[in-house]
Amino acid sequence: MSAVGRVGAVPGKATSRIILAIAAVLFILPVGAMLLFTFRVSGSPGEFTFAHYAAIFDPNQELTYDQLFQGIGNSLVLCAITVAIVLLILLPTMVLVELRYPRVRRMIEFVCLLPITVPTVVLVVGFVPVYQVVAGLFGSVAWTLAFAIGIIVLPYAYRPIQANIAAFDLVVLSEAARSLGAGWFSVLGRVILPGLRRGILSACFLTIAVVLGEFTIASFLNQTTFQTALFLLQQTDPYVAAIFAVFALVFAFVLLLVIGRVGSFTRTKRTAR
């Protein structure tokens, strides 16, 4: 069987390296400028110090960062709950639709992509009366934001999983495994999930990135998260706010590298087989 040819011109090695270099510069320059800002001495642009980093953990510091650490803890809890929503609700639904109900695939896609077409501020206006009921049931706690953020992340979690499903014939492979005597749990754990590993990891990464960067919902619903605490801290200590912003970017970049490495490892393992 002949391979499908690539549409359009294939860029050479020199062109690819130039594009990669330009992208790297565009990414590194703002992050480097932000990192350099965290070492500056207030009122002395030419001097640099580690005092801003030391002040974060200094117990004698007048300005405390308890609210910021509380916001980080709340955001990490939101990340865990939102990722659980993606893995326990969205992923099984997509697999079930692909295997049993392909006719409703378009409807599921429409529902999952709909939140990206609605401004977040408009969604929050609709969430306010709902969260009045939620607060009455569970109390006004930050983890309940996962119900709203779970809707916001649907488009970002749906696309990588669906792209992986499109490149991975679930129906044929699952039927082949079933014909060999495998049960549904064995098919799910040994055939479907390993094949969708990269899409699942990408969906989890995008979900975490959206949760860590979410500000509007938490601000309107008066909850302390990483972004709302960072915004308040920026009014009093912009240096420490920049430090934690750099930490968040580094964390996201490390997650991206991990996903890339896991995807490369998976492809290498399949090739070896």
Please write the tens of the pLDDT for every residue from 120-150: 888 888 888 888 888 888 878 888 899 899 9
Q: Which pLDDT does position 4 carry in this prediction? A: 44
In three-state secondary structure terms, 236 is: helix
Q: What is the pLDDT confidence band of residue 155, given thresholds at 50, 70 and 90? A: very high
Q: What is the mean pLDDT of residues 209-213?
A: 88
Calpha distance 89→126 (Å, rounded): 22
1 pLDDT more than 50: no
| C-alpha separations of 254 from 4, 111, 180, 251, 257 in Å | 34, 31, 40, 5, 5
6 pLDDT more than 60: no
Q: Which pLDDT does position 60 carry in this prediction? A: 64
Q: What is the mean pLDDT of residues 14-24?
A: 84
Calpha distance 246→50 (Å, rounded): 15
Q: What is the mean pLDDT of residues 257-268?
A: 62
178 pLDDT more than 50: yes
CATH class of 67-272: mainly alpha
User: Can you give the pTM of this predicted structure?
Assistant: 0.78
Q: Which pLDDT does position 59 carry in this prediction? A: 63
Q: Among 6-20, 37-51, 136-150, which is the least confidently predicted range?
A: 6-20
Q: Which pLDDT does position 90 carry in this prediction? A: 93
Helices 197-213 and 238-272: angle between axes, nearest 10 degrees: 170
Q: What is the pLDDT confidence band of residue 86, given thresholds at 50, 70 and 90? A: very high
Calpha distance 273→60 (Å, rounded): 59
